[in-house]
Amino acid sequence: MASILIAEDAPAINNLMAANLRLVGHSCDQAFTGDQALEMAAQKTYDLVLLDVMLPGVDGFAVKSRLQPDQPVIFVTAKTSLDDKLHGLGLGAEDYIVKPFEVLELLARVDTVLRRTSRNATCFEFRDLKIDLSARQVLRAGVPVTLTPQEFALLEALVVNRNLALSREKLLALAWGYDYEGETRTVDVHIQRLRKKLGLEKEIQTVFKVGYRLNTRG
């Protein structure tokens, strides 16, 4: 299921959201200040952030402004004015939930946002690339790019796990299968080919002593 960051300074509400989200299978990390939320979001990729507005230190609106532009966010707050709602949605939030809330409504709205913003979507656009995982097709500036089956499998592993550092062993397992007995050097060779064919020399990053990462955050 999804990886969710909850940023809420009231422990009872934070724990209530976390407990119920975990009950339906989600993984939750909990932050209690704006600074803590920003630090955690910088270290890990989340499918969704549930964000209070009135956080200690950096408030929720400022946190949203400093998160990555493509980070899905739902504001969960006691600020009920229309101006606050419009401001939060204007910052790019996916939804705005007012406290007190019904747990079932929260879960339903989280599910709706996750389905809309799922990292498991089959189409992915980045810079001049359009990658259709279902059709197994890649376009660069509108022109089809020819990839071997293994090159596409490796690209798919990077795209699905974008912004995460993946070891060579993990990439071998994802792209070649867990029973593959070849050397990890083959990953390096295919990475070089992908960088050249897709123009991603800077974006497919080498992570020292780990492996590789597709960085889509600029």
* Integer angstrom CA distances of residue 159 from 16, 109, 133: 33, 26, 9
pLDDT > 80? residue 217: no
For the question of whether the overall pTM of this predicted structure is more than 0.75, the answer is: no
pLDDT, tens digit, 9 for 90 and up, residues 171-194: 988 888 755 566 778 899 999 999
Fold entry, domain 3-117: Rossmann fold (3.40.50)
pLDDT, tens digit, 9 for 90 and up, residues 116-174: 777 556 788 888 999 988 889 999 999 999 999 899 999 998 988 888 889 998 898 88
pLDDT for the residue numbered 70? 84
CA-wise closest residue to 93 among 55, 50, 127: 50
pLDDT for the residue numbered 162? 84
Q: Report residue 15's pLDDT band, with 50, 70 and 90 as the boundaries.
A: very high
pLDDT > 80? residue 213: yes
pLDDT for the residue numbered 175? 85
* Integer angstrom CA distances of residue 13 from 1, 32, 62, 76: 22, 11, 21, 10
Alpha-carbon distance 4 to 71, whole Å?
A: 11
* Integer angstrom CA distances of residue 199 from 146, 148, 157: 13, 16, 17
Q: What is the DSSP string of 60-114?
A: HHHHHHHS-TT--EEEEES---HHHHHHHHHTT-SEEEESS--HHHHHHHHHHHH
pLDDT, tens digit, 9 for 90 and up, residues 55-109: 999 999 999 999 988 899 999 999 999 999 999 999 999 999 999 999 998 999 8
Q: Quote the tokens at residue 126.
A: 């980045």
CATH class assigned to 123-214: mainly alpha
Where do the domains of the chain lie? 3-117, 123-214
Alpha-carbon distance 164 to 73, whole Å?
A: 19
Task: Say if CB 44 and CB 67 are below 8 A apart.
Answer: no
